[in-house]
Structure 1
Amino acid sequence: MSIDRIQKAAVIGAGSMGHQISMLCALGGFETYLQDIDETSLRKAREQLEHHMDRWISKGKLTTEKKEAAFAKLHMTTSLEEAAENTDIVIEAVLEKLDVKQEVFAKLDKLVPAHTILATNSSTIVNSKIAAFTSRPEKVLNMHFFYPPLVMDCVEVVMSDQTSKETAETAMAFCERIGRTGVLLEKEIYGFIANRLLFALSKEAMFLYENGYADFKEIDLIAKKALSHPLGPFEIADLSGIDVGYYANMQLFQETGDPNDKPAKIVEEKVKAGHLGRKTGRGWYEYTKEGAL
């Protein structure tokens, strides 16, 4: 399917990733439906997007006219059927759990037209594990946006052995239309590129902290001062969501059975306590609306 055929996009899940991806689609000129089962999440998504776009206007990055045009194309619904109807591309952004994604894709496969591309925003799970629950594996792939999507200019577009070249080319062109740099991975691997690098850094940072070599703040400081990283590994965990990393590690452990792939105990403790990072106001650091205390 050519990029010129794509008129309507649907984003499934209005969380921290989904609502911003939907805004990119609307700003790119696509009729966009953001779907979530929770009306409160949709209401919160609209409020957050209004805030983000008003900030862009104040900084001269966007005109009021373009904001109004984008919001006119952005529709929010709790109905999966409404979002899926006559859509040309779907980007799933639900919880990072394989069984949840498989269930969503199985439903979507029955609702969307035969030509529709089904993409998952999963940050780690290869799309072939999800495509198996559809009748169109050649039209399934990963489109992994980075948090926050309205800021981060990168999308990992990942093909499985069954993803067609045409599907990948269309996804890459779609990234360009919404102002994001698509990077094509022609072969699957758990965690893709960015997260495999990040996992290695995070795993070592956790080891150093748990074994008392340095406090997590000092580890972050060294990463920034000595390695020129904009954020340390613990700050990145807070930004992306400690639960996101936790579930990604749990998925890897389930696949490999290797105890070394299990999340660190301190990470599990934070998830159980609900201290998930910036989005909850507390993770490794504590936050106000203005940032870290």
Structure 2
Amino acid sequence: MATTDISHVTVIGSGTMGAQIGMVSALSGYRTAIVDIAQDSLDRASEMLHTRMDRDVDKGRRTADDVRAAFDRLGFSLDRDTVVADTDFVIEAAIEDIEIKRSLFRDLDKVAPAHAILATNSSNIVSSSLADAVGRPDKVCNMHFFNPVLIMECVEVVPNEHTSQETVDTTVELARAFGKQPVLLKKEAPGFIANRLLNALRKEAVELYEDGVADFRDIDVAVKTALRHPMGPFELMDMTGIDVVYLIRMAEYAQTGDPASLPAQSVKDLYEKKQFGRKTGKGWYDYS
């Protein structure tokens, strides 16, 4: 299947990542559906996207006509099976829980057309751990976007040992059609490229903080002013979501069994307090 055969894209999950992936797809000319199990989640996603698009129009980044046309192509639905039965490419952006994803992929496989590709946006759960849950392992891969999806250009495309070359080529070309820069991995590695590099920096930053070497605020300042990163590692965790950071580490631990994969104690403490960062008003920093 080529990208010219793709007319309808479905995104499963209307969180920060899923909503933005859906918007990028619609802006790129594809009929797109964002699916979730809760209407309030869909309502929040719609409100967030309209706010962001209005701001982009006000700042001259997009035209009002382009945004209007994109929203005409974009739908929000609770009826997953009906939507997926009429789709060509599914991008799963659900919670980072391998059992939830495996169950979801089994369900998607039953209703999606035979030609449809089933991609996961997971940044840490490799698609080989999902492929054996479906009857089309050759059409399963990782298609990993970066937050904020509307701005970040990189998309990591990661095949597993069963993924066909056709699926790889189609996914890479779809990323390009979305206006992104695809990066193709030759084999699976939990965390892929960018997050493995980022995790190394984050791990060192948290160790410096937990060892009492420096306050997290000063570590962020050092990273921004000495390494010229746009955000410090603690600011980035707050933007990504402490819950996402925590669950990614737990998902990697489930795959590796290595205690070094577990989240740091300070991250665990914030997670248990439900202080997830910007989304809750407090994480490492207070946004209230």
Q: TM-score, normalising length from structure 2?
A: 0.98
Shift of 1:259: 2.0
Identity of aligned residues (%): 49
Distance 1:121 1:87 in 2: 17
C-alpha distance after superposition, 1:237-272 (max 9, x if no partner): 111111111111112222222222211111111011
Distance 1:59 1:105 in 2: 40
Q: Determine the structure 1 residue equivalent to 2:132.
A: 132
Shift of 1:64: 1.3
Q: Determine the structure 1 residue equivalent to 2:70.
A: 70
2:29 corresponds to 1:29: yes
Distance 1:128 1:256 in 2: 14
Shift of 1:153: 0.9
Q: Determine the structure 2 residue equivalent to 1:233.
A: 233
Distance 1:284 1:256 in 2: 28
Distance 1:257 1:106 in 2: 25
C-alpha distance after superposition, 1:158-185 (max 9, x if no partner): 1111111111111111111111111111
Distance 1:258 1:3 in 2: 39
Alignment RMSD, CA only? Answer: 0.9
Distance 1:81 1:177 in 2: 26
Q: Determine the structure 2 residue equivalent to 1:291.
A: none
C-alpha distance after superposition, 1:118-176 (max 9, x if no partner): 00000111111011111111111111000110111111011111111111111111111
Q: Determine the structure 2 residue equivalent to 1:47.
A: 47
Between 117-126 and 172-181, report the one with greater CA deviation: 172-181
Q: Determine the structure 2 residue equivalent to 1:268.
A: 268
Q: Secondary structure at the match of 1:268?
A: helix
C-alpha distance after superposition, 1:187-246 (max 9, x if no partner): 110000001011111111111111101110111111111111111111111111111111
Q: Determine the structure 2 residue equivalent to 1:106.
A: 106
Q: Determine the structure 2 residue equivalent to 1:185.
A: 185
Q: Secondary structure at the match of 1:54?
A: helix
Between 253-262 and 167-176, report the one with greater CA deviation: 253-262
Distance 2:2 2:259 in 1: 45
Contact 1:157 1:184 in 2 (8 A): yes
Distance 2:100 2:146 in 1: 20
Structure 2 residues not aligned, in runs of 5+: none
Q: Determine the structure 2 residue equivalent to 1:216.
A: 216
Q: Secondary structure at the match of 1:24?
A: helix
Q: Residue type of the partner of 1:52?
A: R
Q: Residue type of the partner of 1:57?
A: V
Shift of 1:186: 2.0
C-alpha distance after superposition, 1:56-79 (max 9, x if no partner): 111112111111111111011001
Distance 2:75 2:113 in 1: 19
Contact 1:156 1:184 in 2 (8 A): yes
Distance 1:253 1:141 in 2: 21
Contact 1:34 1:83 in 2 (8 A): no
Q: Determine the structure 2 residue equivalent to 1:95.
A: 95
C-alpha distance after superposition, 1:81-136 (max 9, x if no partner): 12202200000000011111111111000010000000000011111101111111
Distance 2:150 2:82 in 1: 25
